[in-house]
Amino acid sequence: MTQVFPVSKQHLSDKVEHFTESVIREMTRQAMQYGAINLAQGFPDFPAPEEIKQAAQQAIAADVNQYAITWGAKNLRNAIARQMKEWQGIDVDPEREVVVCCGSTEAMIATLLAVCNKGDEVVVFEPFYENYGPDSILSGAKPRFVSLRPPQTPRGEWTFDEQELREAFQHHTKAIILNTPNNPTGKVFTRKELELMRDLCVEYNVLAITDEIYEHILYDGAQHISIASLDGMRDRTVTINGLSKTYSVTGWRVGWAIAPPAITNAVRKVHDFLTVGAPAPLQEAGAVALGLPPTYYKGLAEKYRTRRDHLIPALEKAGFHCYLPRGAYYVMTDISAFGFSNDIEFAGHLVRDIGIACVPGSSFYKHPKDGSQQVRFAFCKKPETLDEAARRLENLQRR
Ligand code: GLN
């Protein structure tokens, strides 16, 4: 008889005790299990642009099939630097200030591993994209959350308290993690808000780590500003971005971090030993993607606006209170009208009985009760998918 090895707590890292598996990815599995429409995980169900698919195929055919330089193929780094100059007016040295990683997900955790020591704190706005919690813990840092308060008026903005933010900077603070346009709220941070963060970063000698993956997905005239473009921030900011959302290739896993040389060196070391490099042929295709004309980006934002304005009325009709996003492709909603005791129960009912997967709001908060009457929907989907979702929503009853 084979002896079953009794794995116990002593065989596992303490670190993994402090977080759970991703709820977003779990909801995708449930969507598949129940044959539900997946409005949970944020990935498009429509094709990526033809030009860049062809560029990837050509790169493979041309035998770009071995490791790229660990910190990124030269063509892609050059394109990243060029785009940062064009869009944000920031000069970047592609040789010394760019690290290409396996998605912005790796860029974020590699950055935190490269800058944080045990006992450091990182400031994170809450609700937050769920990765930032485990990312902080794995890098030895403690996240300190600052509340984003839901809009008080139907088309208002999420806001935060200046005093609460200032207080959060005073605890062995290493960095603030900023995500603008924001997942899950859709908030696009204003220049004034970013200037306040700049002033605090300078006053308390803190870094900004900014996830700008939704940079090009903006509505209603909202403008994306990279905090690195503000006076005094160029040399204390790590700007993270990637191909996934802008070019609808979330499965390619190509992202990057842009940072001053000393930080870049540290991130490169971590990245090298974590993953060696991002997929070489897809980096070549990425260089082509970053060269798409301005009309591409305009079209992208406009198509997402149409999708937003397709899903939200259907949600409102079904009884959700929606917080209108100004950027990114999610809508946070309030579910109080349905009379469920919490978001997990509600999301379970929605995926099983109605056939739509969403993300329970609690996964964006430290204390589950803070998100217990919220759920998030992703609208990066084809019109047919959103039509079908609207049809299914008609079966949802208020209790
Ligand atoms: N950013 C996407 C979301 O919030 C998913 C990212 C991921 O699952 N890696 O749904």
Mean pLDDT (the chain, rounded): 96
Contacts of 260 (CB under 8 A, 6+ apart): 97, 234, 235, 236
Q: Residue 130 pLDDT more than 90?
A: yes
Q: Residue 184 pLDDT more than 70?
A: yes
Confidence of residue 153 (pLDDT cuts 50, 70, 90): confident
In testing the pocket of ligand 1, which one of 41, 106, 249, 379 has its CB within 8 Å of the most ligand atoms?
A: 41
Residue 122's nearest CA partner among 69, 169, 70, 191 is: 169
Q: Residue 67 pLDDT more than 80?
A: yes
Q: Compute the distance between CA of residue 132 and CA of residue 211 in angstroms, rounded to an integer.
A: 10
Report the atom number in ligand 1 closest to the C-alpha of 105. Answer: 9
Nearest CA to ligand 1 atom 3: 42
b/e per residue 271-289 (b: at least 16 CB within 10 A): beeeeebbbbbbbbbbbbb
The full DSSP string for 6-21 is ---GGGS-GGGGG---
Q: Compute the distance between CA of residue 362 and CA of residue 350 in angstroms, rounded to an integer.
A: 16
What does the pLDDT average to over 257-283? 98
The confidence score (pLDDT) of residue 304 equals: 98
Q: What is the pLDDT of residues 12-51, one digit of tens each?
A: 998 888 888 899 999 999 999 999 999 999 999 999 999 9
Identity (one letter) of the amino acid at 266?
A: A
Residue 139's nearest CA partner among 113, 161, 163 is: 113
State if pTM tops 0.85.
Answer: yes
In testing the pocket of ligand 1, which one of 21, 43, 245 has its CB within 8 Å of the most ligand atoms?
A: 43
Kindly report the backbone phi and psi dihedral angles of residue 396, in degrees, each rounded to the nearest multiple of 5, phi listed first: -80, 125
Confidence of residue 2 (pLDDT cuts 50, 70, 90): low
Identity (one letter) of the amino acid at 164?
A: E
**183 neighbors 327 (Cβ within 8 angstroms):** no
The confidence score (pLDDT) of residue 1 equals: 58
Q: Residue 57 pLDDT more than 80?
A: yes
The confidence score (pLDDT) of residue 88 equals: 94
Q: What percent of the chain has pLDDT over 90?
A: 93
Beta bridge partners of 360: 375
Q: List alpha helices for 40-89, DSSP H.
A: 50-61, 74-88
CA of 105 to the centre of ligand 1 (A): 9
Work out whether the CA dihedral 344, 350, 352, 353 comes out positive or negative: positive
Q: Compute the distance between CA of residue 349 and CA of residue 356 in angstroms, rounded to an integer.
A: 9
What does the pLDDT average to over 187-209? 98
Q: What is the pLDDT of residues 351-387, one digit of tens each?
A: 999 999 999 999 999 999 999 999 999 999 999 999 9
Residue 71's nearest CA partner among 275, 289, 287, 290 is: 275
